[in-house]
Each structure stands twice: as C-alpha cells, then as structure tokens.
Amino acid sequence: MMTRRQTAATALSILAMLYTLGAYRQLPAIPSFGDFDAYYLSAGQLLKGMNPYLTTHMHDDVTVSDTPTWLLCFEPLAKVTRITAYWTWFWINVSAVVLSIGLLIRELDVSRADAVIVAALLVMYPPLAENFWYGQSEIFLGLVLVLMLVALRRNHDRLAGLSLAAATLLRAYPLGLLGYLLVLRRWRALGWLGIGLVVGGAVTIALAGWDTVATFAEQIGVSTGAGLIGLSTTISEPVGHLKHPANLNLGWFVKWLYDRTATRPVPPYISILAVLAEVFAVVVCLLATRRIQADDPDWRGYGLWIVTVSLISPVAYYVFLCCFLPMIAGMCAAWKRDELPKRVLYAISASYLFTTLFPSAGHPLTVLRRLEVLALEKNHAHIVHILSETEALSLAMAWLAAYWFVRAVPARAIPDST
C-alpha cells in the first residue's frame, strides 16, 4: 500500500505529464517562432560578417539586443534551416530543464518520492512554459547558473567562477551575482570570474569584431553608464517593452507610479527616485545575506540575489523567473525538514499561483486568461488592466519569499562570530 507521500508523488507526476503535453500543444505554429527569430536572424547576419546590431531588424524597426557572445554561440543553428534550428533549440531547452532539475534534486539528497514531488513542481513552474513559447534563452541560462551553484557547493571555485563568467557573457545581467560571491567570500571564484570575463571578452571581440561589440555596448547604454542602473534610453527594444508592466524592472515600476498612462515625459526627480529604489533593493539584499555561510544552505542567498538582480536589470521579463528554480528547490528541501516559515510558504505559493490561475503565454491554461479578460470586460471593464499586473505580483511575492527565507536561516547555518 502506498504511503501518503508516494500517493502525492504519483498524482503530481501525472499532473506534470499532462501539463507538459499541454504546454507542448501551446507552442506557436509555423512561422511564428517568437524570440527565437531574433537569435536566428541576427546570428545569421553575424555569420556573414555583418554587424547584426545595425543590419538585423525585427518588428517596429528595432534591432536585436542580445549579447555578441550569445549570437556567436547561436551561429551553428544559423547554418541550418529555420525549422531545423527551431526544433534543435527546443530540444536543447528540454535537455537544459532536465539537467537543471536533475542536478538540483541530486544536491538536495531527498527520498525518491520527495524527488518526484520536487521535480513535478519545478516542471510546472509557469515561467518555463513561457520560455518555450517564445523560444527564449532563460532556461539555458538557468542551467549555467545551476552549474555554478553545484560547483560552489562542491568547492570547485574555478568552475563556479567560469560558469558565472559564461552566464554574464551570454546574457549580461547575471554579472550582478558577483555580489553573491562577495557575501559568500568565495575569493577564488571571483578571481576566476574575472579571468573568464577577460578571456571570453577577448574571444568575442576576435570572432565578432570590435565594431560589433562596440555597437552593442553603445546600444545598451554601457558607454554612458546609464545601462548599468536601468536608465538607458538606447536599449534596442520597443518602448512598450521597456515600460511597466511588460518590463518588470523596479526603476520602470517607479516611473509607472508617476504616470500610469506612460504618455508624459518623466521628470529628473522621478528618474532619481527610480535609481534610488534599485540601489535600496541591492543594499537590502547585501544586508540580508551578509551572514550566509560559504555553502549557502538551501541556496537562500542565491534566491534573494537572483530575484534582486532580475529586479534591477534594465529589462526584466517574466521568463527571467526561470532562474529561480534553485530557490524553489531549496524551499522544498527546507519544508521537508520543517524549517520553512509559514510566511515564506505562503509568499512563494502566491507567486507560483498568480501566473497559474492567471496564466501568461505558453501556459496550458491560457484559455483561462481569455475567459478572465472576457468576463472582466463584460462586467468590470474598469479593472481589466489588473490582469496585466499578475507577472509583476508574482515577482514581488517571489522577492518577499526570498527575503524572508534568507532571514530565517537556522542557527546551525549562521557562522559563529566568536
């Protein structure tokens, strides 16, 4: 006779399989391949020796904004037909999910039934479905960050530093995780991060060309320093994608509070407040994680750092939450040991459920979203815009859960100050 936990594992595994099938059926039909086209077309231009930041135009005459290193890595797929490249990229993402979850569960050291429960919950995490729907890159990035965490836990600082360097070169915003290595006092990992960035940057310049790298730096605002704190106006994205609620960046949320219609010019003092909000978020993160041990039990420190880094990234989309899988896995492990505070459980459950009950693109329950919009438009049209805030609410609750989780480190995980 099965135990209660085995029954739960069986039920969740069946639900996860049905969810996976539903997500697969939600994939966009040819020729709509979402963000995948931005990678494929721009990598093809780079392959021909052209500058993709000047020659590759997507919708609304906006050039691609992915890093040169990422486009170089995508070049092999640009050599084959678009459909072949798309499905190859799809299965690369599937493999990345499987490897990420497998590595995380192996580090948790839980029973088989518990492993199935954790795996099912991670598979059904809503941002993953959106990543597949758009053909995005955050699942692959998540695997690189999982490799970093596993390497840190096993004291392979060289691999950890190089993994974070790779993540930074590929997607840029993970550079903020150097603060995570700082609070862990993993100096060798920080050294290898620097080496990886220098070597990887040099290889990128050699293969892509200095002009290509310089154009990218100018477009994201690094040349003026603005892109580092979310003030850039030259980021190669449509204006609608930069503003809240499409962009979950904290600074843009502050600007949205000033003008929810997004039609008025933003005065300087609002821009200053936006920057201060991001600085405050980083300071809170530093103070909350300063006592975390070098092995970061349950990846509590990582959880708060990755959420904070996502919040202050100049562009932050819901798919960025794919990199939160280690935090959720750690919370599951803490719950198994009865070390997960109730408020953390409630916050992360709310984050999870917001975009399950009010799903975004690619989710098997997307039909719910259409029904919810129709119902509100018919009966409460004045509040239909609330549905556009579910992703922001999900991120906000994830930040609360991460903050409370790291503040609740058990006494045995806090180093003795004597």
The span from the CA of 388 to the CA of 4, in Å, is 38
Q: What is the DSSP letter of 227?
A: G
Q: Among 114, 115, 95, 96, which Cα is nearest to 105's?
A: 115
The span from the CA of 131 to the CA of 208, in Å, is 27
pLDDT confidence of residue 183: 95
Q: What is the DSSP letter of 411?
A: G
Q: Which amino acid is at 364?
A: P
Q: Which amino acid is at 303?
A: G
Rounded to two decimals, the pTM is 0.90
Q: Among 182, 181, 249, which Cα is nearest to 392's?
A: 249
Q: What are the boundaries of each domain within the chain?
A: 34-413
CA count, 13 A, side-chain hemisphere, 133: 19
Count of all residues that appear for the chain in the document: 418
The span from the CA of 295 to the CA of 153, in Å, is 5
Strand, coil or helix: what is 294? coil
The span from the CA of 151 to the CA of 158, in Å, is 8
pLDDT confidence of residue 416: 46
Q: Among 365, 343, 344, which Cα is nearest to 354's?
A: 365
Torsion of CA 243, 249, 254, 260, to 10 degrees: 30
Burial code (b: 16+ CB inside 10 Å, e: under 16) for 78-95 equals: beeebeebbeebbeebee
The span from the CA of 148 to the CA of 189, in Å, is 10
Peptide bond into 245 cis (omega under 30): yes
The span from the CA of 263 to the CA of 252, in Å, is 13
- What are the start-end ranges of the H helices in 247-341? 250-258, 268-289, 300-312, 325-336
pLDDT confidence of residue 63: 55
Distances (CA, A) of 90 to 123, 149, 299: 15, 24, 28
Encode the chain (418 residues) as per-residue pLDDT tens digits: 678 888 989 999 999 999 999 999 988 876 566 788 889 989 999 999 889 888 755 554 445 778 999 999 999 999 999 999 999 999 999 999 999 999 999 999 888 899 999 999 999 999 999 999 999 999 999 999 999 999 999 999 999 999 999 999 999 999 999 999 999 999 999 999 999 999 999 999 999 999 999 988 887 765 444 444 444 444 555 555 677 788 899 998 998 888 877 677 888 888 899 999 999 999 999 999 998 888 898 999 999 999 999 999 988 999 999 999 999 999 999 998 899 999 999 999 999 999 998 888 888 888 877 776 677 666 766 566 677 788 999 999 999 999 999 998 764 444 444 3
Distances (CA, A) of 26 to 21, 363, 364, 373: 9, 7, 6, 19
